[in-house]
């Protein structure tokens, strides 16, 4: 077992203690970032004359060789090492000899792991942003094609007012757009390099931290070396943002599960994204949507886990922080898979527009519009509300709908009803008259679609 320390020890670590302590089983996935950080570190050391150019070149060559060999499966990460940092350093020394022992000059594993994790997280923030964008492209294309696809809008899961599929999807466009903005915010705030913080109190070598940071695309360096090695705020922010992405995906999934049910039949899932039952031959289940909804909990769990890990830690580094990785990696992978499967499912899902419109037509979704009609005839809204309430009760008793009543029946409840009521409470009118910004009326929605399109072209 390769470890980077031992000088001050007489005995060796108990095997189970070593295994409990080791992180290579999961931090192995930081190997690219670890090598990238080490290359930047020695490049800076040479520039500051702390290493000679020849030493730096030998180390960089060795590190690049390790990277290539691992990537091309010629070198396996040795799981008997303590962590990825030990593996890379031990392998480097094996390759290039004693000069490899200079790699760790002016550095601690504390600032090293802080850097690796930040580099890795930055990549995953960008990747999440890209996946969110792909989802937005699919949502927008559904919006564009369904400006006049009528459906009921719900409150309390009860039919409320008619809307359109474009409008309903438009709500999710806003949510996932905000998720992308959160990714950009996180990157902006986290993009400072902790390398050079050392174990906790900087180093006595004349490191040029800003130069090393610039080699890795950071906007600058972190401000305080104690904070640098013990800050995991950026990861907590990312997990919070990922939790919000999952919350949005889960709400959308829940709706798709409902829409796919026998009662609604608003959508037809593609065979590629549904599964059958081993016993009930009629079944076509929305498993992908259910799994996305189900996996939301483990992402929230990761956030709670890391918040709890951090809450009692004194400055600066504590080994507890090693616990940031497994939960964070799992959350990142879960969101990645959920986003890409959800996007595929959405892309292939077919809408039963006839069912949606029929559903919007019953359930009194035009009751507000009937009241507004009376307001147009001079009836105060509160009275109009009560008149239409009575109208609805009458319809329920007769098992019919407002638009199917005769003018005589309507006039019996209010004399203000005239022949133009039928047009006023038609589905088309109900939707078309809703023209305030953000409302489902087709011209308002067309504007929203144009804005969304421009947004996707720009970012």
Measured from the CB of residue 84, what is the shortest distance to ligand ARG in angstroms? Answer: 8
Give the per-residue contact string, 123-152, with ligand ARG (x = CB under 6 A; - = no): ------------------------------
Measured from the CB of residue 12, what is the shortest distance to ligand ARG in angstroms? Answer: 17
C-alpha closest to that of 70 among 27, 23, 32, 120: 32
Using DSSP, state whether 277 is helix, strand or coil: coil
CB nearer to ligand ARG: give 103 or 289: 103
Q: How far, in Å, CA of 447 to CA of 107, rounded?
A: 55
Measured from the CB of residue 447, what is the shortest distance to ligand ARG in angstroms? Answer: 50
Q: How far, in Å, CA of 456 to CA of 459, rounded?
A: 5
C-alpha closest to that of 424 among 359, 371, 357, 355: 371
CB nearer to ligand ARG: give 113 or 425: 113
Measured from the CB of residue 214, what is the shortest distance to ligand ARG in angstroms? Answer: 24
DSSP 83: S
Measured from the CB of residue 104, what is the shortest distance to ligand ARG in angstroms? Answer: 12
- Helix H segments across 149-208? 165-190
DSSP 113-143: HHHHHHHHHHHHHHHHHHHHHHHHHHHHHHH
Give the per-residue contact string, 328-347, with ligand ARG (x = CB under 6 A; - = no): --------------------
CB nearer to ligand ARG: give 330 or 432: 330
Give the per-residue contact string, 18-47, with ligand ARG (x = CB under 6 A; - = no): -----x---x--------------------
CB nearer to ligand ARG: give 331 or 405: 331
Contacts of ligand ARG in 281-320 (CB under 6 A): 317, 319
Of the candidate residues 13, 141, 322, 386, the single one contacting ligand ARG (CB under 6 A): 322
Q: How far, in Å, CA of 164 to CA of 233, rounded?
A: 41
Q: How far, in Å, CA of 165 to CA of 172, rounded?
A: 11
Of the candidate residues 46, 289, 321, 345, the single one contacting ligand ARG (CB under 6 A): 321
CB nearer to ligand ARG: give 156 or 319: 319
C-alpha closest to that of 320 among 21, 24, 85, 15: 21
Catalytic residue (choose from 80, 261, 277, 340): 277
Of the candidate residues 44, 113, 236, 370, the single one contacting ligand ARG (CB under 6 A): 113
DSSP 212-227: HHHHTT-SEE-S-HHH
CB nearer to ligand ARG: give 34 or 369: 34
C-alpha closest to that of 151 among 402, 363, 377, 367: 363
Q: How far, in Å, CA of 223 to CA of 294, rounded?
A: 40
Which residues, at least 6 apart from 87, have a Cβ–Cβ distance to it below 8 Å?
2, 24, 28, 31, 77, 78, 81
The whole-angstrom distance between residue 228's C-alpha and the CA centroid of its chain comes to: 26
CB nearer to ligand ARG: give 313 or 456: 313
Catalytic, 156? Answer: yes
- The reply on whether position 111 binds ligand ARG by CB under 6 A is no
Give the per-residue contact string, 81-110, with ligand ARG (x = CB under 6 A; - = no): --x-------------------------xx
Measured from the CB of residue 107, what is the shortest distance to ligand ARG in angstroms? Answer: 11
Measured from the CB of residue 258, what is the shortest distance to ligand ARG in angstroms? Answer: 43
Catalytic, 277? Answer: yes
Measured from the CB of residue 112, what is the shortest distance to ligand ARG in angstroms? Answer: 7
CB nearer to ligand ARG: give 81 or 242: 81
- Helix H segments across 191-268? 209-215, 225-230, 233-259
Q: Using alpha carbons only, give the angle 24, 25, 30 rounded to the nearest 5 degrees.
A: 60
- Looking at the annotation, which residues are catalytic? 156, 277
Residues at the interface with ligand ARG (CB under 6 A): 23, 27, 83, 109-110, 113, 317, 319, 321-322
């Amino acid at each position: 077992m390769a470890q980077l320390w031992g000088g001050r020890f007489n005995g060796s670590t108990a095997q189970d203690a070593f295994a409990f302590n080791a992180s290579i089983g999961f931090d192995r996935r930081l190997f690219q970032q670890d090598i990238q950080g080490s290359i930047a570190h020695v490049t800076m050391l040479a520039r500051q004359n702390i290493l000679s150019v020849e030493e730096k070149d030998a180390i960089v060559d060795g590190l690049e060789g390790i990277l290539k060999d691992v990537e091309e499966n010629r070198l396996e990460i040795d799981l008997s090492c303590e962590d990825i940092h030990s593996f890379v350093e031990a392998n480097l020394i094996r390759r290039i000899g004693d000069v490899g022992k200079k790699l760790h000059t002016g550095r601690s594993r504390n600032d090293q792991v802080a850097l690796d994790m930040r580099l890795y997280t930055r990549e995953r923030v960008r990747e999440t942003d890209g996946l969110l964008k792909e989802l937005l492209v699919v949502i927008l294309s559904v919006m564009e094609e369904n400006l006049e696809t009528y459906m009921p809008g719900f409150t309390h899961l009860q039919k409320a007012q008619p809307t359109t599929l474009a409008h309903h999807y438009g709500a999710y466009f806003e949510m996932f757009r905000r998720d992308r903005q959160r990714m950009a915010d996180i990157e902006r705030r986290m993009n400072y390099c902790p390398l050079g913080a050392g174990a906790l109190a900087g180093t006595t070598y004349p490191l040029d931290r800003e130069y090393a940071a610039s080699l890795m695309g950071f906007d600058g360096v972190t401000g305080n070396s104690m904070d640098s090695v013990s800050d995991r705020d950026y990861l907590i922010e990312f997990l919070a943002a990922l939790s919000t992405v999952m919350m949005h995906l889960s709400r959308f999934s829940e709706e798709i599960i409902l829409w796919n049910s026998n009662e609604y039949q608003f959508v037809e899932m593609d065979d590629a994204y549904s599964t059958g039952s081993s016993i009930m031959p009629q079944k076509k289940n929305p498993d992908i949507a259910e799994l996305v909804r189900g996996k939301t909990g483990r992402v929230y769990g990761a956030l709670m886990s890391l918040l709890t890990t951090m809450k009692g830690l004194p400055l600066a580094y504590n080994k507890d922080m090693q616990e940031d990785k497994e939960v964070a990696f799992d959350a990142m992978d879960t969101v990645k898979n959920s986003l890409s499967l959800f996007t595929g499912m959405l892309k292939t899902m077919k809408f039963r527009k006839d069912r949606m419109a029929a559903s919007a037509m019953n359930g009194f979704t035009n009751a507000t519009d009937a009241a507004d009609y009376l307001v147009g005839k001079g009836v105060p809204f509160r009275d109009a509300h009560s008149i239409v309430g009575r109208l609805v009760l009458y319809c329920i008793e007769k098992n019919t709908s407002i638009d199917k009543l005769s003018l005589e029946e309507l006039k019996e409840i209010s004399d203000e009803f005239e022949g133009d009521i039928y047009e006023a409470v038609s589905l088309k009118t109900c939707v078309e008259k809703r023209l305030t910004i953000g409302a489902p009326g087709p011209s308002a929605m067309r504007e929203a679609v144009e804005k969304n399109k421009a947004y996707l072209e720009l970012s």
